Amino acid sequence: ELKKILEDAVSKVNAAATLDDVTAATTNGKNAIWIQLDSEAEAKKAAEEAAQKEAEEAQKAAEEAAQKEAEEAKKAAEEAAQKLAAAKTTAIGELKALVGEEASAELKIILEDAVSKVNAAATLDDVTAAATNGKNAIQTQLDAEAEAKKAAEEAQKAAEEAQKAADDVKDLIDDIGTVSYTDECKEAIDKARTAYNELSDAATSLVSSDYVQKLSDAAAEHAELEAEEKIKRCTKNGSRETFYQF
């Protein structure tokens, strides 16, 4: 634009026929040039201001976006931390509930280890894995303790049954009382001896040697009385030979 204005002004100056025309053409040319310069300066200034404004707005938008992203990231991190903490609390509660209040020393150690691993978990998946492993370990120990308890109860029951059986035999031995040559006495001795012979090894060991000797003595005494009775019967027959044959 300036070149065109200059070219037009020069053309008019060259075409001037008088000094006044030269002065007028020059003045008009200068004015046109200054007007164009001012216009271009204004346009440049406006462009620079627009560019500055656009840059500032872009910078502001970028800062706001970055701030928003940071706030959202912070919020997401806080929510994740809350979920992780809640998951740990739930997992630890489930582990403690599985163990119960009256836990053995071994269970308490397993629980403590499981809780420690849950608390150390960095992600929800880690919490789940630690809780699952802890539950499995606790359940294994619970099963082992249940088996041990069952075995102990069965052993106790067997011991009580053995004791009862031994006591019954001792009562039968006591029931023999004074040995006499009667069917009742023989029946009592045989009953006690049969019961003693049928005892298990555990029950047999609970019958003291005194009772065993008492039964043996009663049986021997009854056998002696029986032999004496037979001798008496032989004597009544009036023949010693009959006694010897017997």
Give the pLDDT means over successive 10-residue stretches in the chain (246 positions). 92 93 94 93 93 94 94 94 96 95 92 96 96 96 95 96 96 94 94 96 95 95 91 68 40
Tokens 């032999």 belong to which residue? 227
* Cβ partners under 8 Å of residue 174, min gap 6: none
Query: What is the three-class DSSP state of 199?
Result: coil
**Whose CA is closest to 148, among 192, 101, 104, 113?**
104
State how far the alpha carbon of 211 is from the alpha carbons of 162, 184, 207, 225, in Å. 16, 20, 6, 21
In our burial notation (b when 16+ CB lie closer than 10 A, e otherwise), range 6-21 reads eeebeebbeeeeeeee
pTM over 0.85: no
Burial class of 165 by CB neighbour count within 10 A (0 to 12, 13 to 18, 19+)? buried
State residue 241's pLDDT score. 45
CB 207 within 8 A of CB 193: no
